[in-house]
Structure 1
């Protein structure tokens, strides 16, 4: 899913402030926002909000807009009227898109060429259904990103096993790994179907992939086989992300790059409840505690939350106070092939070591 593009609407990194200024659950495949998701929850005794760290704040770059552009493997063909028309490999797919409040640019004949449409209808278990106008399709089909083969997948929550806007983060991470010229350990929390883990492994990193869904872990392992990367060092762990990081801290395990891609709300394998606003500050602080002495980056992505990127930007700058480097924050967007409009998919904030 290349090429990608970065736009920075700031002249240069801003200097940090004066010295002294200063879980997880199953990845919610539906990326939906419950009615109370934007409300500040009272912290639980087991997961208190960490104290603010002291030291100079990292430099900052914002807003940064990371774009995914159309290519042979993936393209946003058109959007509007609450839907989007995408091309995933050989298939054209229509799915709901609440942010597409504008009108469609392409004619109806182009939309009628769709191979799969998520109808929004539900079966007896409340899961969404797909309609295949031309011919019945299997659950999976071959896809590729930057030479890595994997499987697209029609899920009951309208998603297709990959979030293409993340390609900009994957490319950035791969560059850091390759430039390090040393062994690099990557922790991928809320790893879903494993594309980020495969990109990191291909670039030469030792990867630990954590997700609370057994089904998602199974899909990720299948993608590793499809990608012919079974010889690469990837640990697949089905567990609550917060509990895993807490245990890694006690064990003294350390990582050079940490990816955080949490849902707004979800549940872990043992009923653990994840609330983004309640739990992100603590999880980010724990991630700082399991970084190596010479870390490379920590990347946080936020979907379906009622907040500006300034909120997670402030969390990340506070979290990495005293460590130098730069915090970049903004939005991940996908650029349309036809009309050229930008569809915003999520917020992000990433700390990059000095």
Structure 2
């Protein structure tokens, strides 16, 4: 399987300004932030970075750390825009800003897959703050948004409100993704497309434990049951660097191969504004017809 790279280009409200020495400098609207980035093994373009704040990682490789601010930043967040979608960015305790900008080419690709389909319905599993959900709903796609975190679903609803999508057909589900998908299979439901961005480790609303390597094959198998001859796509992203794009690509090929269509895999990357180099961020695999 030949690997491909999906490249996130800068847009007015986001850009990767510079990167290197294990850090990256980004702009989020009018604010600039420095965050850790293990993939930035090279030297930065500039030795002097000016930012409103920096995330200082803890000693635990699996997480921890804190934001340190040099200039005032709104605690409640501030609005950003991607294409026709408006959403809130904020400095989360998890080092990111409440959304994943490297997903922008994925949002565009999903829109294209169902652009010619009448009344398509798609599902966003592990949907987090719902920028992907809003990107599809803004183009008339009926959406089901699933996340185990009540706080994340509330944030997603808020982003839909900001985007003028509050009256669009979006089902907001605070639920364990694996249990929800299994119930949808039993109900005989089907979807035109599925986006899933499972974490390396997580807990459901009732204490369910999710481990990526153990749970992913079964989840993909259940997702297959929600797709049929008229479905258009399944897109899987994985941010756990210990897993390979070739591995998840083969998982999709074996599980969804009977549907026909095409299975591809590769890396997500963001283009740096300073030099144009590509900073890898995640791996992905997708099936499409």
Whether 1:284 aligns to 2:220 is yes
Aligned counterpart for 1:318 among listed residues 245, 254, 257: 254
1:91 maps to 31
Unmatched 5+ stretches in structure 1: 1-59
1:3 maps to none
CA deviation profile, 1:4-37 (whole Å, cap 9, x unmatched): xxxxxxxxxxxxxxxxxxxxxxxxxxxxxxxxxx
Closer/same/farther in 2, CA of residues 136 and 191 from structure 1, 3 Å limit: closer
Structure showing greater radius of gyration is: 1
1:149 maps to 86
| Cα displacement (A) at 1:323 | 1.4
Closer/same/farther in 2, CA of residues 121 and 351 from structure 1, 3 Å limit: closer
1:66 maps to 6
1:207 maps to 143
TM-score by structure 1 length?
0.78
Select the structure with the greater relative contact order (CA < 8 A; seq sep ≥ 6).
Answer: 1
Aligned counterpart for 2:274 among listed residues 324, 329, 338: 338
| Cα displacement (A) at 1:316 | 0.4
Aligned counterpart for 2:160 among listed residues 201, 211, 224: 224
SS of the equivalent of 1:291 reads coil
| Cα displacement (A) at 1:136 | 4.5
Distance in 2 (alpha carbons) for counterparts of 1:300 and 1:147: 24
Distance in 2 (alpha carbons) for counterparts of 1:120 and 1:320: 39
1:27 maps to none
1:176 maps to 113
Whether 1:260 aligns to 2:200 is no
CA deviation profile, 1:53-93 (whole Å, cap 9, x unmatched): xxxxxxx6x21110011221111000111110001111111
1:164 maps to 101
Contact 2:84–2:138 (Cα < 8 Å) also in 1: no
| Cα displacement (A) at 1:164 | 0.7
CA deviation profile, 1:134-166 (whole Å, cap 9, x unmatched): 224323011001121110011111111110111
Distance in 1 (alpha carbons) for counterparts of 2:124 and 2:72: 37
| Cα displacement (A) at 1:344 | 0.4
TM-score by structure 2 length?
0.95
Contact 2:128–2:156 (Cα < 8 Å) also in 1: yes
Compare 263-272 and 188-197 and name the one that shifted more. Answer: 263-272
Instruction: Note the 1:6-155 alignment, pairs <5 A.
Output: 62-108=2-48, 111-112=49-50, 114-120=51-57, 128-155=65-92
Aligned counterpart for 1:327 among listed residues 263, 281, 284: 263
Whether 1:351 aligns to 2:287 is yes
Distance in 2 (alpha carbons) for counterparts of 1:176 and 1:203: 12
For the aligned residue pairs, the C-alpha RMSD in angstroms reads 1.5
Aligned residues: 286
SS of the equivalent of 1:178 reads coil
Unmatched 5+ stretches in structure 2: none
| Cα displacement (A) at 1:228 | 1.1
Contact 2:228–2:259 (Cα < 8 Å) also in 1: no
Distance in 1 (alpha carbons) for counterparts of 2:71 and 2:220: 46
Distance in 2 (alpha carbons) for counterparts of 1:283 and 1:121: 32
Contact 1:82–1:99 (Cα < 8 Å) also in 2: yes
CA deviation profile, 1:163-220 (whole Å, cap 9, x unmatched): 011111100111122222x111101000000011001111111100000111111110
Distance in 2 (alpha carbons) for counterparts of 1:128 and 1:137: 19
